[in-house]
Amino acid sequence: QKEVEQNSGPLSVPEGAIASLNCTYSDRGSQSFFWYRQYSGKSPELIMSIYSNGDKEDGRFTAQLNKASQYVSLLIRDSQPSDSATYLCAVNLYLGFKTIFGAGTRLFVKA
Amino acid sequence: KAGVTQTPRYLIKTRGQQVTLSCSPISGHRSVSWYQQTPGQGLQFLFEYFSETQRNKGNFPGRFSGRQFSNSRSEMNVSTLELGDSALYLCASSMDRGIYNEQFFGPGTRLTVL
- Reported as a single tens digit per residue, the pLDDT across B38-90 is 988 889 999 999 999 999 999 999 999 999 999 999 999 999 999 999 999 99
CA diameter of chain A: 43
Contact B103 A46 (CB under 8 A): yes
Beta bridge partners of B103: none
Nearest residue in A to B47, CA atom: A98
Q: If pLDDT is split at 50, 70 and 90, which confidence band does A95 have?
A: low
Say if residues A76 and A19 touch (Cβ distance below 8 Å): yes
Pairing of β A99-101 and β A4-6: unpaired
Torsion of CA B20, B10, B107, B21, to 10 degrees: 0
- Chain A residues closer than 8 Å to B99 by CB: 31-32, 51, 92
Mean pLDDT of A90-110: 88
Collect all residues from A whose CB is shorter than 8 A from any CB in B: 31-32, 34, 36, 42-46, 49, 51, 88, 90, 92, 96-104
Three-state DSSP at A14 gives strand
Phi-psi region of B49 (alpha: psi -120 to 50; beta: other; left: phi over 0): beta
Beta bridge partners of B78: B19, B64
Q: If pLDDT is split at 50, 70 and 90, which confidence band does A51 have?
A: very high
Weakest mean pLDDT among A17-31, A71-85, A97-111, B93-107: B93-107
Contact B102 A104 (CB under 8 A): no
Q: Does the CB of B93 have a partner CB in chain A at under 8 Å? A: no
Q: Residue A77: is its pLDDT beyond 90?
A: yes
Q: Could you tell me what percent of chain A has a pLDDT over 90?
A: 83
Mean pLDDT of A12-34: 94
Pick the residue of A30, A40, A43 with the most B CBs within 10 A to test the interface with B by mutation.
Answer: A43
Nearest residue in A to B55, CA atom: A97
**pLDDT value for B55:** 92
Nearest CB neighbour to A101, from listed B31, B42, B55: B42
